[in-house]
A = this chain, B = another copy of it.
Amino acid sequence: MAEAQGTILTDRQVEVLELREKGHTQREVADKLGTTDSNVSAIERAAESNVEKARRTLELVQTLRAPVQFTVSAGTSFDDLVTRVYAHGDEAGIKIAYCRPELYTHLYGMLEEVTNANRLERSTTIGLTKDGEVDVYADSVTSTE
């Protein structure tokens, strides 16, 4: 079995996820583990909740570690976006960890879905960390919540 130690999942939860991942039904897993399908359902739900919590935790920490945040409005071109990243970095004494073409690629990778003809279709929030990392915040990309 995969190792649950060092994670927020319990052994039981990993056991269930593994078997479910292989395509077994909850009932089959329940039989294998000597319990009921509704119990397996509950364990699976707890596991998924834990995974979601882990995701949000890393998201939050990244935000906390981004001392500089700014938002660019819809319609901004990628060139302008890249320029503004450097400008905000300079202003805060942060050396951006990417040279210009790298940054262009990095941002495009994260913003592809909201980009059209080299312009942003949505206003977008950018975060800079002390060590020069550049993040796009999820709610800018996802919205719809």
In the bound complex, what is the Cα–Cα distance between A64 and B3 (angstroms)? 10
Partner of A58, one of B54, B137, B138: B54
Partner of A14, one of B60, B65, B66, B138: B60
A21 located at the interface, meaning its Cβ lies under 8 Å from any Cβ of chain B in the complex: yes
- A17: chain B residues at CB < 8 Å are 61, 64
- Known A-B contacts A52-B6, A64-B17; the reply to A22 vs B138 at CB < 8 A is yes
Chain B's closest residue to A47 (CB) is B61
In the bound complex, what is the Cα–Cα distance between A24 and B142 (angstroms)? 11
Oligomer: number of copies: 2
In the bound complex, what is the Cα–Cα distance between A60 and B3 (angstroms)? 8
A139 located at the interface, meaning its Cβ lies under 8 Å from any Cβ of chain B in the complex: yes
In the bound complex, what is the Cα–Cα distance between A114 and B138 (angstroms)? 37
- A57: chain B residues at CB < 8 Å are 7-9, 50-51, 54
A100 located at the interface, meaning its Cβ lies under 8 Å from any Cβ of chain B in the complex: no
- In the assembled complex, how far is the CB of residue A67 from the closest CB belonging to chain B, in whole angstroms? 7
A135 located at the interface, meaning its Cβ lies under 8 Å from any Cβ of chain B in the complex: yes
Task: Supply 6 A–B pairs (Cβ within 8 Å), ascending by A.
Answer: A2-B63, A4-B60, A8-B8, A14-B60, A17-B64, A21-B64
